[in-house]
Amino acid sequence: MLIKSLVRKKDYLTTVNEHATLEEALKTLEESGFRCVPILDDTGTIFRGNIYRMHIYRHKSEGKDMNLPVTYLLKNATKTIKVNSPFFKVFFTIKDLPYISVLDEDNKFYGILTHSRLLDMLSAAWNVKTGSYVLTVLTDNSRGNLVKMSKVISKYSEIAGVMSLDSSPNTINDNFVRRILFTLPAGVTDDTMKTIVAKLEAKGYVVAEIEDLQAGMTIMSDENPGVFLSEPTED
């Protein structure tokens, strides 16, 4: 139910009735400041689609009838997810939309999930505000790699967050197919971070990038490898 916790519920939204005219919809959009809002039926439970301010402006600038129903310029009628949809589906559906409309288990309009709310959630998962460093470690899909890397890091620090990216062999000589991002908690020193990196590389893992979250900079990347690390040593 992760999606449900991120949704802005319909009671707190600006919406337009499906019988409103384009002129009325434009007034609502201008007063609210939103670039688009959901169109709902008379009961306020059925999502019809979205109406965009830019589409109404274009329609008006061409001298067309502003008394047409708002559904004349309806968009994104099928761009919805369910409150119990798998999280990955959000990324395939939201794409360039400012938000994705969310339906409940009975296909009734529940609310919207905005791009900004989604990014806030990812930022929290990444522990950007409270973390110290993010280590991007390259590995293949061999069983147990995540556990092994975590054990190495846990000897010297707690792990504030973990994120997995990539799924195709396109990194280094087609040997590494996945990037694992480990966020270290606040308080981890530069020396501790260097020790962790050295230990990971001694185990055969490639630390492709190190980001200092508090300084807002990349210390080392696979495009411009750093030279500050000590020689990897075996345990």
Nearest of 204, 225, 232, 215 to residue 134 by alpha carbon:
215
Q: What are phi and psi of 108, to 5 degrees?
A: -95, 150
pLDDT digits (tens, 9 = 90+) for 20-45: 999 999 999 999 999 999 999 999 99
User: How is domain 127-221 classified at the architecture level of CATH?
Assistant: 2-Layer Sandwich (3.30)
Where are the chain's structural domains?
2-120, 127-221
CA distance 100 to 81: 7
Same fold, 2-120 and 127-221: no
Residues 50/37, Cβ–Cβ less than 8 Å: yes
pLDDT digits (tens, 9 = 90+) for 46-105: 999 999 999 999 999 999 999 999 999 999 999 999 998 887 778 778 878 899 999 999
Compute the average pLDDT of residues 131-143.
87
CA distance 13 to 98: 14
Question: Is the model's pLDDT at 2 over the cut of 90?
Answer: no
pLDDT of 117 reads 87
| pTM, to two decimals | 0.67
Q: What are phi and psi of 17, to 5 degrees?
A: -75, 145
- 2-120 CATH, one of 1.25.40.10, 3.10.580.10, 3.40.50.670, 3.90.79.10: 3.10.580.10
CA distance 227 to 230: 8
